[in-house]
Homo-oligomer: A and B are copies of this chain.
Amino acid sequence: MASQLNSIIPAPTVERLVLYRRLLEGLAQGGTEYVHSHELAEKANNSAAQVRRDLMSIGYTGSPAKGYAVADLVKRIGRLFDKKGDQKAALVGVGKLGRAILGYFALRQPHPRIVAAFDSDKDKSQGDIAGCPCYPIEELINVIVREKISIGIITVPAQHAQQVADLMLLAGVRGLLNFAPTPLKVPAWAVVDHVDITTKLEKVAFFTELKAGKQPC
């Protein structure tokens, strides 16, 4: 799906590291100084071996006696993600889903901050939503260039998704998170990830049915 990346860290590991960070931050606040792989695995529910391998893949090493130093590890993972100069994100499509995402992230202040939102509807593209300034779609290129935005979040209807993606890539965005229920075609130098809620729901329904019935078809 996502294009080939010549990284040392495999994609699923990256996802888990984000989770570990969250869990470790919780532990750190609770005053825990050290964790063992199996404790972290328990919380993340996967295997201890996998936790060890994941941490190893970022070059972090624990001690058999104490385990992994929580605070230090948080810093280490943080250094991986919150790289030089914070990345900025823009969201296109201030519909229901777009608004929800803006509101959701406004609270959490995630790493790539959403600093601009766009919509083709003039009524929606005015003022702030959850503290994020909204612009008409015509200003997309200007704003993206001016703010040096590198990540795009697409929450427009399926039929406009590709068009919006092309526009953002043209403006200099290099990573896209696509919520539209359609696949995007992007050049090899861009990164895309796809969150398709409808498909996920159907998938869960399918496997639920399957497990319940046991007999396929």
Contacts and interface: CB of A to CB of B under 8 A. Distances in A.
Interface in A100-115: 100-101, 103-105, 108, 110-112
Nearest to A181: B22
Contact of A83 (B11, B44, B80, B209): B209
A174 B217 CA distance: 10
Copy count, this protein chain: 2
A54 B79 CA distance: 40
A110 B202 contact: yes
Interface in A1-43: 1-2, 5-9, 11, 14-15, 18-19, 22, 43
Contacts of A145: none
A183 B153 contact: no
Nearest to A152: B204
A112 B212 contact: no
A31 B197 CA distance: 28
A177 interface: yes
A29 B93 CA distance: 26
Interface of A: 1-2, 5-9, 11, 14-15, 18-19, 22, 43-46, 79-81, 83, 87, 89, 96-97, 99-101, 103-105, 108, 110-112, 150-151, 153, 174-177, 181-185, 189, 191-193, 195-217
10 contacts: A1-B46, A14-B206, A43-B183, A81-B202, A87-B208, A110-B201, A111-B202, A174-B208, A189-B215, A195-B195
